Amino acid sequence: MLQTNMEIAQNIRALAKSRGVTVKQTLADCKINRNFIYDLEHGNSSPSVDKISRIADYFGVGTAALLGGEATDGAGQRGAIAEFLDLYKRLSPEDKAALRDYMRKLLESGD
């Protein structure tokens, strides 16, 4: 279900907080006007597909995480991919490389 502009703004704020960045930094990194969240919250504008996509890409989530809350499976659980990405982002660069190597080996052994 699509959210109201206020709820979209809240989802963006929550993602920023959970990732340890400010909304201001998020918008600057995404090259979006700093008033974007204010305008959403006060009904002055609606988000464009481009802006929602840029923000979702910035956080490494699907657009559903912004437009409809966290994507879930049929049982109401967070998607496995979103959970994996959250865990992956917390790894050190060395551990990320080791995990990628391990995954490649798993895929090669399946051939």
| pTM for this prediction | 0.60
pLDDT digits (tens, 9 = 90+) for 16-70: 888 889 999 999 999 999 999 999 888 888 889 999 999 998 988 888 888 875 5
Q: What does the CA dihedral 90, 75, 63, 24 come to, rounded to 10 degrees? A: -50
Classify 60 in phi/psi space as left (phi over 0), alpha (psi -120 to 50) or beta.
left
For residue 97, pLDDT beyond 70? yes
pLDDT over 80 (residue 3): no
What average pLDDT does the segment 98-110 reach?
Answer: 86
